[in-house]
Amino acid sequence: MLNQRTIEIIKSTVPVLEIHGTAITKRFYEMLFTAHPELLNIFNHANQKQGKQQTALANAVYAAALHIDRLEAILPVVKQIAHKHRSLGVLPEHYPIVGQHLLAAIQEVLGEAATEDILQAWGEAYGVIAGAFIGVENEMYQQAKSQEGGWADFKPFRLVRKVKESEVITSFYLIPADGGALAAHEPGQYISVKVQILGETHTHIRQYSLSDAADKGYYRITVKREDPVADRPGGKVSLYLHEHLEIGDVLPISAPAGDFTLDQQDSRPVVLISGGVGLTPLVSMLNTLAAKQPHRGVTFIHAAQNGQLHALKQQVEAVAAQHEDISVHWCYDKPTERDLSEKTFHKEGYIDLAWLKTVVPNRAACFYFCGPHPFMKAIYAALREWEIPTEDIHFEFFGPAGSL
C-alpha cells in the first residue's frame, strides 16, 4: 500500500494532469513504440492516429491520481480495461516497459515541475496499480483457459458462413478450426480477431461483439465496413474481413471477454437501445432473453439512417413475432422513399426522451445501450433526465472508453 506522503504527492498532481494529461500520454506512446515497435502488434493503430487511445489513457491516469487514496473506487474501470488486455494478449512483462516510458514522458512533458519526489511517488503508485491489473488479468487468463472449450491466448477459427446484412454490414460465422468444443460466452461480450494483412509489417487486432446467443455451435460477429472518408482512412481490418475473408479461411481469435453483459439474475423488464452497428451486443442479449427469459418483457429500440443500412432487422422482428412480451421499434433519421412508402420504421428523426416515454412501457427496467459516441451521449442524457437510476444504466464503447 502507498504511504500518506506518496498519496498527498500524487493528489497534488491532479490539476497538472488535467491540463497536460493528453500531452503526456501522446509522448508516452511515441516513446513506447520507438523503443518497442513489436507492441504495435497489440495496439489499434487507428485509435492511435485518431488520438482516442491517448485520451483514454490520460483519463485513466487522471482517475487514478484523483482516487489514489481509495483505489477501490476505480476497480470497475480496472476490470473493464483488464478484459480488453486479456482479450488482446497483454502480459505481466509488458507492465514494467509501460511504467518506464510513462514516467519518462511525465518527466519530459512537465520538465522541472516533475520533481524527484513526484517521479518517485508516481513510480510507487504505478507499481501498485500495475500489480492490481496483473492480478485481475491473471485470474481472467486462468478462467478463460479452464472453462470447457476454453483457451488462454489466440486460437484458430474457421469461417463457415458469410452473410450480408445491409449495404455496409456483414455477419461472419466462425467455428474452432480443430473441431473442438466452443467456449461459452455471456450475452454482450466480444472476441478479438487477429489478422495479418499483405504488405503490413504488423498484425492488427480488433474486438468485435458477438451478435448471437451462446449455445449455437458458432461465434457470430457482425461487422460494419469502414470505408475511407475525407477526414479519416478506411478501417483496415473491417475492409479485410469484407473483401478478402472467404469461406474456409482461418482467423486467430481470443476467448470471449467483456463486462457489458446482460444480468440474467434480474427479473425486471429490459430496454435495449442501439444505434448503427452498436446493435450487435444487444441482439445477443435479445436472443438470450427470448430463449431463457421470454416473459421478462423486452423493448428493443434501434436507430439507423434508413432501411438500407439497418442490419439484422428481419432476425429481430422474427424473434419479436414469436414472443408477445418482446416489442421492437425502429427510428430512421434519413429514411428512403421506400421506407416512407412501406412504413418500415416507427419514428423519423432521432431518439429523444419524449418518444422513449411512449414506447417504453415501464421505466422501472434495466437499460442497455450501445452505438456511436454522440448517440450514446444523447441516450445517456435522456435516461438521466428521466431519472433512471445510475445502477440501471449499462453501456459499452466500441474502442477506447470515452466520457458520457
399 is in an annotated binding site: yes
Q: What whole-number distance in Å separates Cα of residue 333 and Cα of residue 305?
A: 5
Phi, psi dihedrals of residue 396, rounded to the nearest 5°: -140, 140
Per annotation, catalytic residue among 29, 95, 173, 219: 95
277 is in an annotated binding site: yes
372 is in an annotated binding site: no
62 is in an annotated binding site: no
Contact 183, 150 (CB under 8 A): yes
Active site residue 95: yes
C-alpha cell at 382: 435522456
Find cell 515541475 and name the residue. Answer: 113
Looking at the DSSP bridge assignments, the partners of residue 172 are 162, 221
C-alpha cell at 138: 491473471
201 is in an annotated binding site: no
176 is in an annotated binding site: no
20 is in an annotated binding site: no
Per annotation, catalytic residue among 29, 62, 137, 240: 137
Q: What whole-number distance in Å separates Cα of residue 222 and Cα of residue 389?
A: 31
Active site residue 139: no
Beta strands of 210-351 (E only): which ranges? 219-224, 250-254, 270-275, 298-304, 326-332, 347-348
276 is in an annotated binding site: yes
**Quick one: how far is CA 299 from the chain centroid?**
22
209 is in an annotated binding site: yes
Reduced to 3 states, what is the DSSP secondary structure of residue 329?
Answer: strand
Beta strands of 152-267 (E only): which ranges? 154-164, 169-176, 190-195, 204-209, 219-224, 250-254
H or E stretch covering 290: helix 280-292
190 is in an annotated binding site: yes
Reduced to 3 states, what is the DSSP secondary structure of residue 168?
Answer: coil
280 is in an annotated binding site: yes
Annotated binding-site residue numbers for NADP(+): 276-281
Annotated binding-site residue numbers: 85, 190, 206-209, 276-281, 397-400
Q: Report, as residue numbers or ranges, the catalytic residues.
A: 95, 137
Annotated binding-site residue numbers for FAD: 190, 206-209, 397-400
Annotated binding-site residue numbers for heme b: 85
